[in-house]
Amino acid sequence: AQRVTQPEKLLSVFKGAPVELKCNYSYSGSPELFWYVQYSRQRLQLLLRHISRESIKGFTADLNKGETSFHLKKPFAQEEDSAMYYCALSGHDYKLSFGAGTTVTVRA
């Protein structure tokens, strides 16, 4: 069975401060990992995925297979980063599983 764990339900940071959202997973094999974001009144959308190894809106995520983690980081948070963030895992059977989500609030 595949599982995604996001231990933090809420995260509050000040503008300009670093932010890190934790994601741990369990899967027997090599999954693909994603981060999705849901801004207020908008559809859930892809932020970044491991296979692309790119930085989107200043966010990066590193896959650590030893710790089975895929934490999302941004060195300087902006007010427009306030949103709900979901970590997701896709396995070989096409199942796409999400974590419980982390609500990020960036304070001015």
Partner 1 sequence: NAGVTQTPKFQVLKTGQSMTLQCAQDMNHNSMYWYRQDPGMGLRLIYYSASEGTTDKGEVPNGYNVSRLNKREFSLRLESAAPSQTSVYFCASRTGQYTEAFFGQGTRLTVV
The span from the CA of 57 to the CA of 50, in Å, is 15
Identify the CA nearest to 108 among candidates 10, 12, 2, 1: 12
Pick the stretch among 20-28, 53-61, 69-77, 90-98 that binds partner 1 (CB under 8 A). Answer: 90-98
DSSP letters for 10-47: EEEEETTS-EEE--EEE-SS--EEEEEEE-TTS--EEE
Cβ-based nearer residue to partner 1, 17 or 51: 51
Stretch that binds partner 1, among 14-22, 58-66, 70-78, 87-95 (CB under 8 A): 87-95
Q: Does 22 bind partner 1 (CB under 8 A)?
A: no
Per CB under 8 A, residues contacting partner 1 are 6, 9, 32, 34, 36, 43-46, 49, 51, 86, 88, 90-101
